[in-house]
Structure 1
Amino acid sequence: MANANTSKIRALSGGAVQPEPSTTSVVRAIDVGFGLVKASVRAGAGIAFINFPSMAIPSDASAVRSLGTRRRDTFDVPVNGANYEVGRDVGLAQAGGSFGRDVTDEFYRGAIYEALTKGALRYMAEAGDSVVDVLVLGLPVNQYNDAKRRDYLRSRYEGEVDIGDERKINVRRVIVQAQPMGGYAALGEHLEELNRVIIGTGGALPPLPSADGLDELSVLMIDPGEHTLDWLLIQQGTINPRASGAASDAGRHRVVRSVQESLAAHIGRPLGPAVMPRINEALRQRTPVKLAGVAHALERFEPEIMSVIEDSINRMVDGLRDAHEIVDLIVLVGGHPERYRDVLARRFPAIPVFIMPEPMSANVRGFQLIGEALAEG
């Protein structure tokens, strides 16, 4: 079978995500972002998609951790002889400057990434999987382009993986994808919503009669992640590597950092790294952020936010090398795409700009489709 990155993904990955595929292979997917980990897990006779924060805190072995009215939803997983706490409730383990994140370009090799991946595997094991036949992992575009990084992930996570508490999971095959490719693979599932955006734009692109029409287009996939802004130009189902890339420090982290600095100046005291998740969540929900018992509205910082996003889009357009002239459709994935859509729609008013439904999980849903197709092949 041809590589999934150079073949027509639509032909590989049609069908719904939720039911288990007819193949007997167990296919699972993990998308480790700088902000959230997304993963597919067994759910009865089907598949569910879960997420938890991309935070790994050195484990607290004291009895204090067990105090409370309920057990927090986390696991201790081993990395390089140390244990890290990861999972949905990991924020309860955070204190002071213990941010528990890694937003460097070497993220994929670090202890935080390994702990988060093992945490996702642990959730799979808790759901009933002791063996995963095909595991699809994602990398930001700039990291995916380095074959050594893809090889590292395959070698690190194929085989028997220790996921803590004397439990192991056997991963038979690892496939590595560029993160926005997942969103592209799932795009055909949302043709009705996409056509509404195409009609509303009023540009040269007519509504698509079927998902097969996507493979005749030049589609610009954009993933404004926590640390990087990734983009893939996909022409007739194939990645154009010369016009695809990523901009470091051009994602959510830069926006949050800008707001944190402005908020600190506004209230007159420094704010540490533990405040960043609160600001991040407040921006996602468009609600005030509560600090030291005071609610601070963030709307006043909208000009700073839009300035950061416009700069990131400018860096992407430069990286496209004039290929934006041939783009038929722009598709956004990721957990916070609305402001990016607004900037892109102003910049390219005749090109439809489509936000994938449930954009936060779009990549991992597509990874699941790709893995199922390759398993069946």
Structure 2
Amino acid sequence: MNLIVRAVDVGSGNTKFVTGTADSEIRCASFPSLAYPSSNGQPLWPGGDGAKTMFIPVGSLFYEVGPEVRLAADTFRATQLHDDYIESPEYMALLRGALRSMRQSQIDLLVVGLPVALFAVKKAALERVMTGEHDVGGGKKVSVVRTLAVAQPQGALAFYAHAHGKLAEIAKERSLIIDPGARTFDWLVAQGMRLVQKQSHSVNRGVADVLKLLAAEITKDIGTPFRDLDAIDMALRTGKAPVIFQKPYDLKRLLPLAESVTEQAVSSMKEWIESPHSLQNIILVGGGAFLFRKAVKSAFPRHRILEIKEPVFANVRGFQLAGMTYARTVLAADRERSATAERAAGDAA
């Protein structure tokens, strides 16, 4: 019997998850990491149920999540940008929304991620709370038999090694994986696939800090509050000016401000890395890779900076690979031992 393995990466910006695997392909999907509370699990506005969202029960409330949650709910950005995020009802709603989207009634192994700075202190608690039965709304439940939590950039390293056929080489090399997210700027130094804890960490200096700084500057410029962070994010990604008061707004003059934030994050990281000359791989991943690329290249001018196609899914695809390996070895061996014990007990009877 094949074990069902799935992976979820609940980031501050997006919730990424694996929907299935076929041959060497790992299929992924995502939705914004926004969860809006409701007392009865019904759309706020008549006709609002046409949006692609789900109402997930957590405690005494329902939380609306999904691909079109921005259309279905109010304008408040219900994010939880703090270190206890994984213990919040919003986090649970997002993760259960991902479980529901996987369309599996039972998952034998669920792999989830944590920022590097929280990994040691939150790993056991997260694994415990995610194991068991989850009410995912709509009359559906998902049973998680076992959970494995890993450091988020560790997933990217596993996926990079797999995608480039370098599993044997990476096992002997020292690597730096840099993962700029919405809230945190994570990095991980690994010897082979093993975390070098004393050189790996996170700082709260992610894409959201850039967006909020630029929004504050735009507010000063136009003389009225500007809070459309999504418009700024899209402009930075595409190079197309956001439209404010029906006119394109030139962000180019504000780019040095954005670069100052990315440089601060990279500078903090460099303080932790003891021997940069010994790094054989520097891998840049995450949804904020495009924004931090220049600062990373400037910090490591003598290295080649490696990137991955669809960097936003690098971590969760690596989680899936790690989980599949774990299932083939540890879980399969556990099942075989249990079956052997049951046979022995039956023979004795």
Taking structure 1 as the reference length, the TM-score comes to 0.82
Do the aligned residues in 1 keep the contact of 2:237 with 2:290 (CA within 8 Å)?
A: no
C-alpha deviation, 1:66, in angstroms:
4.4
Query: By how many angstroms is 1:334 displaced?
Result: 0.3
Trace 1:19-58 onto structure 2 (pairs within 5 A).
24-42=2-20, 47-58=26-37
Question: Is 1:73 equivalent to 2:73 in the alignment?
Answer: no
1:120 Cα deviation after fit: 0.4
- What letter is aligned with 2:4? V
Q: State the partner residue of 2:342.
A: none
Alignment-derived partner of residue 100 in structure 1: 78
Q: Which residue number corresponds to residue 325 of structure 1?
A: 277
User: Runs of 4 or more off by more than 6 Å in structure 1?
Assistant: 43-46
Structure 1 pair 344–366 and aligned structure 2 pair: CA distance change class (3 A): same
Aligned residues of 1:94 and 1:100 also touching (Cα < 8 A): no
Mapping of residues 148-187 of structure 1, within 5 Å: 149-187=122-160
Once the two structures are superposed, residues 220-271 of structure 1 have per-residue CA deviations (whole angstroms, 9 ceiling, x without a partner) of 00101111111110113321111111112x1111111111111111211112
Kept after mapping to 2: 8 A contact 1:186/1:369:
yes
Specify the code of the residue in structure 1 equivalent to 2:114. L
2:88 aligned with 1:88? no
Deviation at 1:285, TM superposition (A): 2.6
2:216 aligned residue? 261
Q: CA deviation at 1:344?
A: 2.0
The 1:131/1:66 distance shift into structure 2, 3 A limit, reads: farther
Tell me how far 1:64 sits from its aligned partner: 5.9
Contact 2:51 2:72 in 1 (8 A): no
Could you tell me how far apart the structure 1 residues matched to 2:129 and 2:239 are? Answer: 39
Question: Would the aligned equivalents of 1:32 and 1:116 in 2 still touch at CA under 8 Å?
Answer: yes
> What is the CA distance between 1:44 and its match in structure 2?
8.4
Q: Is the 1:181–1:363 Cα contact (8 Å) retained in structure 2?
A: yes
Contact (CA 8 Å) 2:6, 2:19: kept in 1 or not?
yes
Indicate if the aligned counterparts of 1:243 and 1:323 stay in contact, CA closer than 8 A: no
Corresponding position of 2:335: none
Contact 2:286–2:314 (8 Å) recurs in 1: yes
3-state SS in 2 of match to 1:104: coil
CA shift for structure 1 position 337:
0.9
Distance in 2, Cα, partners of 1:310 & 1:237: 27
Deviation of 1:165 after TM superposition, in Å, equals 2.1
Aligned residue in 2 for 1:246: 202
Q: Structure 1 CA distance, aligned partners of 2:231 and 2:249? A: 11
Shift, 1:311, TM fit: 0.8
Quote how far apart the aligned CAs of 1:326 are.
2.1
**Match in the other structure for 2:164:** 191
Asked if residue 368 in structure 1 is aligned to residue 348 in structure 2, the reply is no
* CA distance, structure 1, for counterparts of residue 231 and residue 89 of structure 2: 24
**DSSP 3-state at the match of 1:163:** strand
Distance of 1:306 and 1:376 partners within structure 2: 44
In structure 1, distance between residues paired with 2:250 and 2:238? 12
| Identity level (%) | 31
For residues 267 and 20 of structure 2, the distance between their equivalents in structure 1, rounded to whole angstroms, comes to 41
Whose radius of gyration is greater, 1 or 2?
2
> So what's the TM-score if we normalise by structure 2?
0.88
Give the structure 1 partner of residue 334 of structure 2: none
Pairing partner for 1:214 from 170, 174, 190: 170
Alignment of 1:92-131 (within 5 A): 92-96=71-75, 98-125=76-103, 129-131=104-106
Write the distance in 2 (CA, Å) between the matches of 1:108 and 1:172: 20
Given that 2:177 and 2:187 are in contact with CA atoms closer than 8 Å, whether structure 1 keeps it comes out as: yes
Q: Distance in 2 between matches of 1:341 and 1:150?
A: 29
Once the two structures are TM-superposed, the CA of residue 191 in structure 1 deviates from its matched residue by 2.8
Q: Deviations over 1:129-160 (max 9, x none)?
A: 111001000000011121xx212212211111
Distance 1:44 1:179 in 2: 23
Q: CA deviation at 1:279?
A: 2.0
1:142 matches 2:144: no
Q: Which has the higher contact order (CA 8 A, sep 6+)?
A: 1
Note the aligned Cα RMSD (angstroms).
Answer: 2.1
Aligned residues between the structures? 327
For residue 28 of structure 1, report the CA deviation from its aligned partner: 0.4
Structure 1 residue 374: deviation in Å? 0.6
What is the distance in 2 between the residues matched to 1:291 and 1:54?
Answer: 25
- Residue in structure 2 matched with residue 287 of structure 1 by the alignment: 240
Equivalent-residue separation in structure 1 for 2:22 and 2:328 (angstroms): 21
Shift of 1:284: 2.4
Rounded to whole Å, the distance in 2 between the matches of 1:282 and 1:60 is: 36
For 2:77, give the aligned amino acid: F
Contact 1:284/1:336 (<8 A) preserved: no
- 1:188-213 Cα offsets, whole Å, 9 max, x none, are 23438xxxxxxxxxxxxxxxxx5421
Structure 2 gap segments, 5+ residues each: 330-349
Please tell me whether the aligned partners of residues 328 and 352 of structure 1 are also in contact (alpha carbons under 8 angstroms). Answer: no
